Structure 1
C-alpha cells in the first residue's frame, strides 16, 4: 500500500465535530483518545513541559524502541491528535485547561483517583461550567471502593481480574501476555461508555439543558479484564470449580489447541459439531468422525486427550503449509501463529488496509495498524501523524493569547 496523503479529503466521519481533551498518559486513557480520534473527533492532548529532570510529554514517547529519541509506538498511540503543552501542576496551566474543557464534549483522564479533585478539576467543578461534559475516568480500581487509592497498572489489573491466573502451563508460574491487555480492554470499555453517554446526552436535550446532560464514565482496569473472563465466576459460584491454567488448550471445549508440525505450530478450532466431523475426516480418522459419543462437545471433552493425540500425530507428520491447505479446504478453522514479520507480509492484512504506512516528522516511514472497526458510510481514517511535543500549543491556545 502507498503511504497515504494525510491532507487528502476523507469521507464524513462518525465523530466529526466532537471535541475531546485528553489528560491521560501512557496507555489506557490515550488509547481511548486514539480510538475516538480515528473516527473524526478532535482530540487535544495535554502534555507536561520538559523539566531539568525529564524530557517532558507523555512518557510513552520514550517507551520501547526509539527513533531519534521518540518511540515508534508513539506513531500509533497519538495519531490524529493535537499536542498542547500545559503544566497542570500550576494554576495557570489548570486555568487554561479548564477553558479548553469548557468547550469540549469529552474529557479523558487516567490519573490516580482524587488527583483531578485536588486540582479543582473534579467532575462537579467541570460540569458546573459545562453541564454537557462527559468525563471518562480510567483507573486501576475505579473511583469508589476500598482499593480506589491504590496505584493501578495493567499488569496488576490482569492479575486481579483473573486473566493472569489462567495464563500459562499447568504447574508452572503464570505468564503475562506480551502486551498490556488490561489497559487496552479498559480503553475500549471507556470508548463504549463515552458513546453511550453521548447517546444519553442527546436524548436529554431540553430547554433547561440545551446541550443535554453529561455524566461520568468510570472504568476500572481490573473490571475491564474481569468482564472478559467468560465462565470463570459462574462455574465457581455454581460448582465451586476454580478454573486452572491449561497452556494452549481451552478446557471444556474440544478440540481447541495448538499442535506441532514439522516446521512450526498451528492452532486448530475444531470444537463445532460439524467442524469436528470434517476435521476427523480430513486427518483420516473416520472412526472418530462417526463415533456417536464424539458428536457433541460433552462427549469430546471426556476424550479430549485421545482427540488431541490423533490431531497431533497427523499435524506432526506434515508442514505448516500442508496442514493449512488441507484444513482450509475442509473449512476447518486453522491458522499459523503469526510473528510481526508474518503480519507484515500477509496479503490479507494489506487487502483490509490493516497495515498503513505513515511518515514521522524526521522522514522515517513506519507501518502502523489500520482502523478498527470498518464503517461502510462514515469510516475512520488516519488524517494526521502523531504530533511532536507541543506542536499545536500556539494554534490551539491562540484565542487566549490575543
Structure 2
C-alpha cells in the first residue's frame, strides 16, 4: 500500500494547509479537482449505485451501463461530486484514510459493495484450496505468553516449519483455505497471500482471499485518488525529485482538530449519521458515537410520532403513501401507527440495553470483575436487535409489500389472506 504511505506522510506534515486550501476553493474548483483526480468518470449525484440499480430495474439502460463505470458506482457508492464538493467530506475522508491503516476499513469497504455483489455486478469468484499446491505455507504465529505481535519478535524458520507440520497433521486438506493478510500495522504484510486452516481464520489477521481481493480493489484506487487530491492542493510537492526530498524533510505537525459537521453531542438525525459514516473511520469501541447514532434514530421517530399525532395533513400523506386497496384501509392505518410507535419503543429499549453494556464494561475494566454480567448484557442487546431487525420487520412484510407502488396494481384482495398465511408459515420455518 505505497499510496497509503504517501498519503500518511503528506497529512502528518501538511494536513492543516490542505484543509485551508480546500475550504478556500469554490465549488466549481473543487469539482474540477475531484474529476481530475478520479480514475474514471465521477458520478454527479448522491448514491449513484441506487440510481443505477433503479434504472436497470426499469430497463432504462444501454450497453454503456454494463461498462467499468457501472461497476465503479457499486464499489464506491460514496464517491460523487454532489457529496464531495462540500467543504468537509473530502477532508474527513483524507483524515480517516490517511491517519488510520487500511485494515480498519476492510469490513466497511466490503459492506459498501454489498448491493453490487448481490446483483452480480461485482463478481466474487471463489478461490478453492488446492491440496497439491506446494507453495510456501505462511505460518502466522502468536506468542500467547507475552502477547507480542509477530513483528516484535524473531521467529526461526525451523519453528515456522514445525508449526506448519502440526497444522498439516491436525487438519485435512479440505479444511484449508486461501487468505490474504489484513494486518493492522505491518503494511508490508497487508494483502500478502497465505494458506491457513479454516479453523484458525478467526484467530488471525486474515480475510478470505475472494473477499480480500474485492477489498483491495476498492482501497487501492481510493488511496491513489486521495494522494492526487493532496498533490493538487500542494503544487510545490510536485517540483520533481528535489521537491519531494524537501517536502519529506519537513518536520511533522500536530494533527488538526476533529472536523465536526454536527452538534457537539452527536448526530441530530439518522440522515446526518448516514451522510458522515462513509467518510469517517469506524470506531466500534466508541460508545458515545454508538449512543449518538441510536439517539438520532429516536429523535427521528419522535418527530414522526408527534407529526402523526398533531398534524392531520402529515397523517393523511403518510397513510396515502402506505395505502393498499380501498377495501383494506383498516390494515393500512393500523400498520402505519404501529410502525411509528413500535420503532420508537424498540430504539428506546436498544438505548437502555447499550447503556447497561457500557456501564458493565466500565466496571469490568476498572475492577476486573463482572465478566458474566457483561456477556449477558451483550447477549440481551443482540437478541433485541435481532428481534427488531429481523422478526419485527419480517412480520410486517406481508402487509407492507403488497402496498408498495411496484406491486400494488398486481394485488388481488381475494388471495390476500391465503398468501399472508403461507408467508407467515414460511417465516416461522426460517
| Both proteins in one fold, TM over 0.5 | no
TM (norm. structure 2) is 0.24
More helix by share: 2
More strand by share: 1
Higher RCO by CA contacts (8 Å cutoff, separation 6 or greater): 1
- Larger radius of gyration, structure 1 or 2? 2
TM (norm. structure 1) is 0.25
